[in-house]
Amino acid sequence: MTLLYQFFGWLMRILFGFFGNYGIAIIMLTVIIRAALIPLNIKSQKSMIKMQALSGKTAELQRKYGDDKQKYQEEVMKLQQENGAMGFSGCILPFIQLFLIWPIYRIVSGPLIYLSKVSTDNVQAMIDLANSEGLIASKRLTAQLHIPLIEILNNNSEFLSKCISKGYIAMGQLLDLHFLGMDLTKTPAWNPITIISDPKTYLPLLLFPILVIATNVISMRMSTMLRPGYKEQKEAKEREKKNPARAGQASTANDQAEMTTKMMTWMMPFLMLWTTFTLPAAMGLYWVVGGIMGIITQLLTYFLFTKPYELKKQEMEQKKADAFKKNSSEKKDENRKKNKKKK
């Protein structure tokens, strides 16, 4: 994990040095991360399309094997492997996003180390000095999680002078961590008392949890409505409710994969909201931009892959329907001719 922290810190330093703004650097880092995940999104979407194309065969397997779920799962896995449709591909992305929380968390919680390149020993020495002078209430502050130390350095000139004279930090290593007038080192507050105590600081920060919820609700809704075969599955479920004999028509190619994906889909927003209210606002900015990137990615994969597939499917179904009508019409004409000859 240390190498991952260092890599993300290096990338963040480059972006911060180029743009000269902490918020923009976080936005660009998020865009880069989400752009790197686009191939996995595409692979997942293609796999879902293949699974949808196999839905008829999987429904037959479910009817064939009935209550023998183990045999059904074995046959479904075999069918997927033969056709290159992996049922768990849609579960990978949420787990990767969950994993990437840690390096982002370390960067936003320890910017002196990852952005200013102040050594861990020097950060710890400044924390010890601040503790000895009674400037830090919490003894649990560590070199990796040192946001309160930055506030002291920015607001206490005497303490800053001592740290510079001892060689712990240089003047050029101090950071401006504001974005659009908001201090991204502050943690958004849900407690009205805290908000009222400093409304200029905490009221603007409420924008982050609001946008986190909004982008995730939109993203979840879109992921449902834009997935391959959504309309067909919805109609099949309605038919199942009206007629139990049709059970199996709404089944997916891999029930376990769908359950895992749903669990992650609902778990992630709660995790995002929790981290938004417990970590510096920079984490909320990361989630908001990530949510917007997720929506853009869903639209791209839908118009590039899902919609052409559904149009092609409709075209084929229309051709089958036309062919069926034509055959029916020809048979009727033949029957009429036969009846005329008999008369």
The residue that leads in pLDDT, 334 or 287, is 287
Helices assigned H by DSSP within 111-242: 111-114, 120-132, 147-155, 157-165, 192-197, 199-205, 207-225, 230-242
133-145 pLDDT, tens per residue?
Answer: 888 765 567 777 8
Domain boundaries, the chain: 2-115+183-300, 118-174
18-43 pLDDT, tens per residue?
Answer: 999 999 999 999 999 999 888 887 77
The residue that leads in pLDDT, 78 or 163, is 163
Angle at 264 between CA 306 and CA 215, to 5 degrees: 65
The residue that leads in pLDDT, 66 or 122, is 122
17 to 11, 184, 251, 269: CA distances (angstroms): 10, 17, 52, 31
Helices assigned H by DSSP within 249-306: 255-278, 281-301
pLDDT band at 4 (very low <50, low <70, confident <90, very high): confident
pLDDT at 169: 94
Work out the burial of residue 161: count CB atoms within 10 Å of its CB; fewer than 13 is exposed, 13-18 middle, 19 or more buried.
Answer: exposed
* Whether 105 contacts 279, CB under 8 Å: yes
Which of helix, strand or coil describes residue 243?
coil
Indicate the average pLDDT of the chain. Answer: 80
> Which residue type sits at 239?
R
For residue 41, give the nearest of 89, 6, 87, 101 by alpha carbon. Answer: 89
Strand pairing category for 182-183 and 178-179: antiparallel
Q: In whole angstroms, give the CA distance from residue 220 to residue 204.
A: 26
314-338 pLDDT, tens per residue?
Answer: 777 777 777 777 777 766 667 676 6
* Whether 242 contacts 236, CB under 8 Å: no
pLDDT at 66: 64
Phi and psi at residue 188, in whole multiples of 5°?
A: -55, 140
Q: Which two tokens stand for residue 307?
A: 């919609």
- pLDDT over 50 at 254, yes or no: no
pLDDT at 252: 45
The residue that leads in pLDDT, 342 or 168, is 168
pLDDT band at 127 (very low <50, low <70, confident <90, very high): very high
Q: In whole angstroms, give the CA distance from residue 159 to residue 170.
A: 13
Summarize the confidence of residues 161-185 as an average pLDDT.
92
Which of helix, strand or coil describes residue 322?
helix
* Whether 115 contacts 16, CB under 8 Å: yes
Q: In whole angstroms, give the CA distance from residue 271 to residue 102.
A: 13
DSSP-derived letter for residue 179 is E
Summarize the confidence of residues 296-305 as an average pLDDT.
87
> Which residue type sits at 328?
S
pTM of the model: 0.78
- pLDDT over 70 at 88, yes or no: no
pLDDT at 250: 45
6-15 pLDDT, tens per residue?
Answer: 899 999 999 9
- Name the packing angle between helices 281-301 and 22-36 (round to 10°): 40
